């Protein structure tokens, strides 16, 4: 009963934070789309890239909604239609946030380097780690051997590490994007506040994901510690 209540808290609180963050992001994006700019998101990103000596970074138009991302492997900035073609505060804000990741890559920003290194292990941890952990719990019940579960939990820990390292990466990319938009005069007045709100709301979704990953890790760690003590 105690474990069930603890898991309900661990799962429920981050989920609630995620719902709040997503609702805030949806509202902030909608408000930012009401402010019209003189250039598109793609044009704003191009200006920011060129200003930082990144003329070699290509900007692609991709399908989807808010599927925008920078790909460090092929040095491309990929923007969804609403962002690529949009003449709005949301469009230039998101585009310059992603351009901020390209600038990070170009300057070898340490947290980004660490995050990119953590991606493969985070993928393994999210897919294989939990499976090994679950299998290990079954082995532990049958033989009192907890090694397999601890290995799975160790792999899953990389998911939390990735989320923690990702936070400064995302906040820094937003700071770079906002600074360029302000200094270039692409947005001003109300537009500045709308860009800030949209990017801050987006950052809060990463915060919620980090809270969820860390809370799950701590819950599973507490469970295993308790089982290890009881088996001795």
- Distance CA(223)–CA(4), nearest Å, equals 11
- E strand residue ranges, the chain: 58-61, 69-71, 76-79
C-beta contacts of 141-145 below 8 A and 24+ residues apart:
144/231
Catalytic, out of 25, 70, 90, 98: 98
Q: Which two tokens stand for residue 58?
A: 């290509």
Pairing of β 69-71 and β 58-61: unpaired
Strand order in the sheet with 69-71: 58-61, 76-79, 69-71
Could you confirm whether 2 is annotated as catalytic? Answer: no
Q: Are 205 and 100 in contact (CB under 8 A)?
A: no
Q: Are 89 and 107 in contact (CB under 8 A)?
A: no
Per DSSP, the three-state class of 19 is helix
Q: Are 80 and 62 in contact (CB under 8 A)?
A: yes
Cite the active site residues.
98
């Amino acid at each position: 009963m105690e474990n069930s209540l603890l898991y309900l808290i661990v799962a429920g609180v981050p989920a609630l934070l995620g719902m709040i963050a997503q609702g805030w992001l949806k509202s902030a994006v909608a408000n930012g789309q009401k402010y019209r700019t003189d250039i598109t998101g793609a044009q704003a990103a191009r200006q920011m890239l060129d200003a930082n000596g990144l003329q070699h970074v290509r900007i692609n138009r991709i399908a989807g909604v808010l599927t925008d991302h920078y790909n460090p492997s092929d040095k491309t900035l990929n923007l969804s239609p609403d962002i690529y073609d949009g003449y709005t505060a949301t469009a230039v804000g998101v585009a310059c946030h992603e351009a901020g990741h390209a600038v990070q890559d170009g300057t070898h920003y340490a947290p980004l380097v660490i995050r990119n290194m953590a991606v493969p292990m985070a993928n393994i941890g999210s897919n294989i780690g939990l499976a090994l952990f679950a299998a290990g719990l079954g082995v532990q019940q049958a033989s009192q051997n907890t090694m397999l579960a601890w290995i799975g939990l160790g792999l899953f820990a990389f998911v939390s590490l990735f989320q923690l390292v990702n936070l400064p990466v995302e906040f820094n990319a937003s700071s770079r994007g906002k600074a360029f938009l302000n200094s270039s005069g692409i947005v001003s007045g109300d537009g500045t506040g709308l860009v800030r709100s949209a990017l801050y709301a987006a950052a809060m979704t990463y915060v919620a994901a980090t809270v969820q990953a860390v809370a799950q890790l701590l819950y599973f760690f507490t469970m295993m510690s308790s089982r290890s003590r009881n088996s001795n």
